[in-house]
Structure 1
Amino acid sequence: MRTTVVTGAASGIGRATADLLRSRGERVVGVDRHEAEVLADLSTTQGRAAMVAQVDELTGGHVDAVLAVAGTANKGTADVTVNVFGAVATLEGLRPLLAGSPSPRAAVTSSMSSLLPHDALLVELCLADDEPGAVARAEHLLATGQGRVIYGSTKRAIARWVRRAAPTAEWAGAGIPLNAVAPGIVETPMTADWISTPEKREKLRGQVPMPLHGFATPEVPARLLAWITSEENTHLCGQVVFVDGGADVVLRGDSTW
């Protein structure tokens, strides 16, 4: 039986993923601030260290997969501390626990928002592992009325981090596929206010065009996360897989070619 750690397991995509894996017979160690096996605040260095210690104790130091799903949206500096630094700390902190698995896997949740306007300096500060600097930059963006770009910037940063880390000796060299999924609009508590009225839904459709089936349920990215971190995935490495109903295609066309 595989043991998988899922952060953000109390709601949204994290909960859907945890439920799916449990239904398939896997042991899931859920991490969240409430209603989870491990209670931790991933926005702080202390919370991240406590999470690693608790997971280590609960699993006896053996984990087969790590899914860094926890995230916030439009929460100011929390988007920075959770979406980037909390996610990286989860993946790097739990990576040693994957060493004993015959098929270790890891994944993180990015977003199609990584394609939208972003703040280049915030992204670079995140990639430089400068958390105080990144938080200060986010505070500046909020103070100058540019807060709307923070979320997309954090998702761009974590996607780029995956691209950089995945082929290294610590990940690919150790036999650990590291990848990301990038959902479009998913109907979760995090997005509830964005789609609470027909007018808001229509406006969001204009910003995030999803011609294939429109907005998704959490089970959609959950199924992709489950496969990416399954034994079947042996060669996907450093990929950001968009599960967004076609938004990436509409917005970027054939630019990747």
Structure 2
Amino acid sequence: MPRTYVVTGAASGIGLATAELLAERGGRVIGVDLHDADVNVDLTTAEGRADLVSGVADASGGRIDAIIANAGLALPVAKTAAVNYFGTLATLEGLRPLLADSPAPRAVATASMASLFPPDDALLDAFLAGDEPAAMARASELEAGPPEQGNLIYGTTKRALVRWIRRNAPGPDWAGAGIPLNAIAPGVVETPMTEAYTGTEEARTAILEMVPMPLNGIFQPRDAAYLLAWLTSEENAHLCGQVVFIDGGSDAVMRGDSTW
């Protein structure tokens, strides 16, 4: 029987590449996005998150094998906080019951090497406390501030996400239920979301000064899709709470021989 995968952010970038790859390999893919998907929802809202769960339940018949929580924004705006953190958690937690009947359930989220950058502490604390009103208020303050403040939103969402995964993956809801939960942390990927950083040679040079990628540099969404496909395959039975940096070496350059 083909495995059934749910891919959020499936209309473009890494999500689209992953959906296409899984379908090519014979998987059944339920794509989720704002538009041009099997389930069209807005993950910034409680209504959209509820519609995600009901829409996927209807489309799948109530049983799925893998969740790929990939949807996200990289803009210096408060909406990024809503999608990247609370929308991702709603995806993982809301769809988890649909994994119950899978013989090999899997879940993975898309984080970022930007999780290594210094966060905004107030925003990070609000995320980890699960306080969405406080997080959105702080994100709105950062959005209204100078550019260097707005630019903290994205990295902070990804720092919070990987910390949530590390805290929860070994627990009863995930590992205890036989579900490997992990994340990938891409470096700079050439997608519509990163066009401002990859669209010109000058922009590419500038972003690689900030995000060093000595192994083959900026890459295509398909490369991240291969990793997501393996993490949600039957072969991956034992990775738990891992954040896999697919970043051309950024993590190794920035953190050296430290793994923490």
> TM tier, shorter chain?
over 0.9
Is 1:222 matched up with 2:233? no
Equivalent residue letter for 1:83 = N
Inter-partner Cα distance in structure 2 for 1:66 and 1:195: 29
Q: Can you give the 5+ residue segments of structure 1 that lack an aligned partner in the other structure?
A: none
Equivalent residue letter for 2:168 = A
Q: CA deviation at 1:141?
A: 1.4
Aligned partner of 1:8 in structure 2 is 9
Please report the TM-score for the alignment, with normalisation by the length of structure 2: 0.97
Q: CA deviation at 1:142?
A: 2.1
Candidates 235, 244, 248, aligned match of 1:245: 248
Which residues in structure 2 correspond to 1:1-257 (within 5 Å)? 1-145=2-146, 146-256=149-259
Inter-partner Cα distance in structure 2 for 1:248 and 1:120: 21
Q: CA deviation at 1:35?
A: 0.9
Please report the TM-score for the alignment, with normalisation by the length of structure 1: 0.98
Inter-partner Cα distance in structure 2 for 1:206 and 1:28: 37
Q: CA deviation at 1:200?
A: 1.3
Q: Which is worse superposed, 189-198 or 200-209?
A: 189-198
Inter-partner Cα distance in structure 2 for 1:197 and 1:224: 27
Q: Which is worse superposed, 71-80 or 45-54?
A: 71-80
List per-residue Cα deviations over 1:7-65 (Å, max 9, x = no partner): 00000000000000000000000000111100111111100100100111111110000
Q: CA deviation at 1:195?
A: 1.8
Inter-partner Cα distance in structure 1 for 2:224 and 2:137: 32
Equivalent residue letter for 1:168 = G
Which consecutive aligned stretches of 4+ in structure 1 deviate over 3 angstroms post-superposition?
none
Inter-partner Cα distance in structure 2 for 1:141 and 1:75: 8
List per-residue Cα deviations over 1:148-176 (Å, max 9, x = no partner): 11100001111111001100101000000
Q: Can you give the 5+ residue segments of structure 2 that lack an aligned partner in the other structure?
A: none
How many residues end up aligned between the 2 structures?
257
Q: CA deviation at 1:124?
A: 1.6
Contact 2:213/2:250 (CA < 8 Å) preserved in 1? yes
Equivalent residue letter for 1:66 = I
Inter-partner Cα distance in structure 2 for 1:58 and 1:202: 44
List per-residue Cα deviations over 1:56-78 (Å, max 9, x = no partner): 11111100000000000024111
Inter-partner Cα distance in structure 2 for 1:75 and 1:149: 7
Inter-partner Cα distance in structure 1 for 2:164 and 2:19: 24
Q: CA deviation at 1:144?
A: 2.6
Equivalent residue letter for 2:4 = T
Q: CA deviation at 1:255?
A: 1.6
List per-residue Cα deviations over 1:88-108 (Å, max 9, x = no partner): 000000000000000000000
Inter-partner Cα distance in structure 2 for 1:3 and 1:60: 10
Q: Secondary structure at the match of 2:101?
A: coil
Q: Secondary structure at the match of 1:6?
A: strand
Give the aligned CA root-mean-square deviation in angstroms.
0.9
